[in-house]
A and B are shown apart, each in its own frame.
Chain A
Amino acid sequence: MSEKVKFTIDGKEYEGAKGQLLVDAAAENGVYIPVLCHWKDVIPAGSCRICTVKVNGRFVAACTTPVEDACVVENNTPELQDIRKAIVEMLFVEGNHFCPACEKSGDCDLQALGYRYQMMVPRFPYAFERRELDATSPKIFLEKNRCIFCKRCVRMIKNDKGQSYFAFKGRGKHLEISMDKKLAATMSDELAEKAMKVCPVGAILRKEVGFSTPIGQRKYDNVPIGSDIEKLHK
């Protein structure tokens, strides 16, 4: 049995396992720290920074920081909420997120966080990056303009040999998600479904099944993002 540690989040004391990632320890205690790139039990990337918290007064990513005994965590403070809201806004302006016609609407983590942080209009100018779509796979449609570079697909969607179907291409402002066309041509329906599910936005879409979930039954139609964690200890 792993060693227990005690820590505080916003002044309340909690208990977690030593070495456990802070974001997971918080979730187990009913404290929601938002994530976009993190996926439990997958090697963390720390790329989106939406989980930014303060530990002992320093900004860190909760998805890459292990919880330590007696650490003091700030999470739900006006300062951090505004930083997270700004990150959501930056992700919106950096891509082309047209929610009204996106089939991930209602199931999209980025959209759900936009609602959580009450984003009305981004404070940043739109980048208007234009990336080519990749529709060549028989199973999935890659909408590169919606990618937020979380790297979930790169880390999680692999074949039996451990080869990744997805990879980043380019650098800086030219960075974009791409897929191995040969591998993608052999992708199973199950893996395509998993790829669409792990994508926190509408960048990976399964072909020919769009909009099959009615409004009202989508992931965030009735429960706001994070409420499943927050209700654990209410």
Chain B
Amino acid sequence: MAQKVTIEPVTRVEGHGKVTIHLDDNMNVAQTRLHIVEFRGFERFVQGRPYWEAPVLVQRLCGICPVSHHLAAAKALDVIVGAGTGHGLTPTGEKMRRLMHYGQMFQSHALHFFHLSSPDFLLGYDADPAIRNVIGVAINFPELATQGVLMRKYGQEVIHYTAGKKIHGTGAIPGGINKNLTIEERDILLKGADPLNVDKMIEWADSAVQFFKDYYMKNREFVDNFAYFPSNHLSLVRKDGALDLYHGVLRAVDTDGNKILNDVDYQEYYKYIEEEVKSWSYMKFPYLKHLGKEKGWYRVGPLARLNTADFIPTPLAQREFEIYKAHTNGKPNNYCLHTHWARLIELLHSAEVIKELLLDPDLQKNDLVVKGTKGNEGVGLIEAPRGTLFHHYKINEDDQITMANLIVSTTNNNEPMNKSVNFVAKHMMNGQKEITEPMKNAVEIAIRAYDPCLSCATHALGKMPLDIKLYGPNGEKLDHYRS
């Protein structure tokens, strides 16, 4: 008799989602879906607001990576106030924003790996759920857990000194930034008392990469065979092909590494990307227009970024990038769980960039804002921790926002997450007589690899966790798991 499994809520992700898995008469997986069941509608209620409010208002989408929304909105408004994009700002304006962003990248990646994902690796995906969590990590691996907590704290401090607050600050304004970094603030971040200084952060981030490599070497079969599937990959890259998380051109590669979007100006993103709406989810499905819905979907995030970028412009991260790329002979990496590896390399890169910026005297200068001829439309893209984030605004002659379009990182990963759920469900559940908790957690691990922020993705408000329901062929509910 066919069944339907529901995993609701999905745990250790940001936001609320559920998974449904339909099994046929032979207990084989017939259909899987990741449902995002929240709705909030930021795009609608920013309409009518003064445009300069957007960076502060829209960042309330999220408490984990508000800096991404803050900066993407500010970048879009840079275009509107005539400051241009990227290097159009003053050196202090751009570098302060970069420091804020890399601080956020550092804290978010640390949060995701140590707090959310490491329990699966350190304690086992089939460990008792009562200990398979951050508390279990703290009890069994106190040194690692402490490093995770303090790395996040350090990243939050960087945000505090650049945005004014650790969460939901106001640093970026149209055309620049509202403060520089004082010598005192710089020195706290650069050479604060151990361990909260940048050199220790680089050391710990490096050791986190080594930790994952060790784990990988011991569990290679599990890691490589977990939700592997080919896909396209999309991200911003610097004009010279370097990894750049703050600004660049839009590049996409296919599963063989061929460029299918060749370093285009993101102001015209709508020429290349379209979104499909499906009735069973509030989250849209973006795809590359010229390839169509079936072939045009793509991944974003750390895995995608290390597939699109040609190199990483900091030495330690570049060293790790070369080792990482060697595993796929320089070709794009499509191993779902390698996303964690890529994320940790980015963690290391972020710490290195933070140090570079802290040593840059431009941060102490006072030329903070630049403006030019005002326009009525602007697009801002940024590489958020979870992937490429799009903000697009139009304003009227009275300075009110008339249109907002947000394509959030997790939305870009909608199809890949669904593919991953399908892969793992089939792999773990096909032909099984009983659906066990570890099988369901494996489905969650696949989702977790993308570090999804489901609240952001639907611009939604709701409860956190994940729900799995198991349905039979006649639609009857056979099992219901809610974590």
- Cβ of A175 under 8 Å from chain B: no
With A133-B48, A135-B398 known to touch, is A214 a contact of B168 (CB < 8 Å)? no
Find residues 204-230 in chain A having any chain B CB closer than 8 Å to their own CB. Answer: 205, 207-216
Instruction: Name the CB-closest residue of B to A136.
Output: B398
B26-56: CB near A (< 8 Å → 1, else 0) gives 0000000000000000000000111011011
- Cβ of A170 under 8 Å from chain B: no
Q: How far is the CB of A220 from chain B (nearest CB, A)?
A: 14
Tell me if B164 and A205 are in contact (CB < 8 A).
no
Residue with the greatest number of chain B CB neighbours at <10 A, chosen from A136, A212, A216 = A212
Q: How many residues of A contact B (CB 8 A)?
A: 18
Find residues 75-128 in chain A having any chain B CB closer than 8 Å to their own CB. Answer: 100-101, 103
With A135-B400, A207-B399 known to touch, is A103 a contact of B53 (CB < 8 Å)? yes
Residue with the greatest number of chain B CB neighbours at <10 A, chosen from A207, A211, A212, A216 = A211
Complex Cα spacing A215 to B162, Å: 10
Tell me if B52 and A101 are in contact (CB < 8 A).
no
Find residues 349-375 in chain B having any chain A CB closer than 8 Å to their own CB. Answer: 369
Complex Cα spacing A223 to B270, Å: 48
- Cβ of A141 under 8 Å from chain B: yes
Tell me if B50 and A216 are in contact (CB < 8 A).
no
Q: How far is the CB of B164 from chain A (nearest CB, A)?
A: 3
Residues of B within 8 A of A208 (CB): 52, 81, 174, 399
Q: How far is the CB of B99 from chain A (nearest CB, A)?
A: 14
- Cβ of B171 under 8 Å from chain A: yes
Residues of B within 8 A of A103 (CB): 52-53, 56
Q: Which of A101, A214, A215, A216 contacts B53 (CB 8 A)?
A: A101
Of the four ranges (under 10, 10 to 19, 20 to 34, 35 or more), the interface on chain B belongs to 20 to 34
Complex Cα spacing A105 to B174, Å: 18
B158-175: CB near A (< 8 Å → 1, else 0) gives 000001110011110110
Residues of B within 8 A of A215 (CB): 163-165, 169-170
Complex Cα spacing A210 to B54, Å: 10
Tell me if B57 and A101 are in contact (CB < 8 A).
yes
Q: How far is the CB of A169 from chain B (nearest CB, A)?
A: 19
B50-93: CB near A (< 8 Å → 1, else 0) gives 10110111001000000000000000000001000000000000
Q: How far is the CB of B184 from chain A (nearest CB, A)?
A: 12
Tell me if B50 and A135 are in contact (CB < 8 A).
yes
Q: How far is the CB of B349 from chain A (nearest CB, A)?
A: 28
B168-192: CB near A (< 8 Å → 1, else 0) gives 1111011000110000000000000
Residues of A within 8 A of B57 (CB): 100-101
Find residues 45-88 in chain A having any chain B CB closer than 8 Å to their own CB. Answer: none
Q: How far is the CB of A132 from chain B (nearest CB, A)?
A: 9
Tell me if B168 and A207 are in contact (CB < 8 A).
no
Tell me if B169 and A207 are in contact (CB < 8 A).
no
Tell me if B168 and A210 are in contact (CB < 8 A).
no
Query: Can you add 12 more A-B contacts, CB < 8 Å, to A103-B56, A211-B55, A214-B170?
Result: A100-B56, A100-B168, A135-B50, A135-B398, A136-B398, A205-B50, A210-B50, A210-B52, A211-B52, A214-B171, A215-B165, A215-B169
25 pairs, A vs B, C-beta closer than 8 Å: A100-B56, A100-B57, A100-B60, A101-B49, A101-B56, A103-B52, A103-B56, A133-B48, A133-B400, A135-B399, A136-B398, A141-B50, A208-B174, A208-B399, A210-B52, A210-B173, A211-B52, A211-B55, A211-B56, A211-B173, A211-B178, A212-B369, A213-B178, A214-B164, A215-B163
Top 5 nearest A-B pairs (CB, nearest first) are A215-B164, A101-B57, A135-B398, A214-B179, A210-B52
Residues of B at the A interface (CB closer than 8 Å) are: 48-50, 52-53, 55-57, 60, 81, 163-165, 168-171, 173-174, 178-179, 369, 398-400
